[in-house]
Amino acid sequence: MILDSLENAGLYKNVHPRIKQAFDFLLSKDLQSLPTGKIELDGKNLFVNVVEIAGKTPAEARMETHNNYIDIQIPLNVTETMGWIAGKELKTVTEAYNADKDVSFFADKATNFLAVNPLEFAIFFPTDGHQPGIFEGTIKKIIVKVLV
C-alpha cells in the first residue's frame, strides 16, 4: 500500500511499467473535469474509472481484495477514509472471488485507516485488503485499474 500526493507521483513510476502510464495520464489531465465513466488507456491492461458514489460508515464499507489488478484510488472533492489490512490476515469471506470483476469481499475490518485527501492517492496491491468509501455525502473519485 502506498499513500502520497499526486505531486509526488514521479517517485512511483518505476513500481510497475503500467503505473508510469497511469500517472502520465493523470498528471496531464484536469481531473476535476473528467466525466464519469470508463477511460481505456491500454484495454484491459490499464483503465480509469471516474465514479460518483455515496459514502458509507466504517460498518457499511466492505473489505475487498483483487487478484489481478492494482488499484490507484484518488478522491477528487472530499477526504475519503480508506481502511487497510494485510491480505494474509483476511479470514472471513463474504463473497468468493468473482473472476469477471476481479474482487473478493470479506467480513474482516481494517487494522489501519487512512485519510486520503483530494488529489492524494492510495495504491492497493493484490496483497492489500482495502476498505474504501468511508465518508459522508457523495464523492467524485478516480479508480485506476492496473493489470499486474
Are residues 145 and 99 in contact, defined by beta-carbon separation less than 8 angstroms?
A: no
Q: Which domains does the chain have, with CATH numbers?
A: 2-147 (2.60.120.370)
Task: List the one residue out of 61, 76, 69, 79 whose CA is nearest residue 124.
Answer: 69
| N-terminal to C-terminal alpha carbon distance within the chain | 14
pLDDT number for residue 49: 98
- Read off the pTM: 0.97
- pLDDT (tens digit, 9 = 90+) per residue, 44-85? 999 999 999 999 999 999 999 999 999 999 999 999 999 999
Are residues 121 and 146 in contact, defined by beta-carbon separation less than 8 angstroms?
A: no
Residue 100's pLDDT band (boundaries 50, 70, 90)? very high
The pLDDT mean for the chain works out to: 97
Q: Which residue has the cell 472530499?
A: 78
According to DSSP, the residues that pair with 112 across neighbouring strands are 84
pLDDT number for residue 25: 98
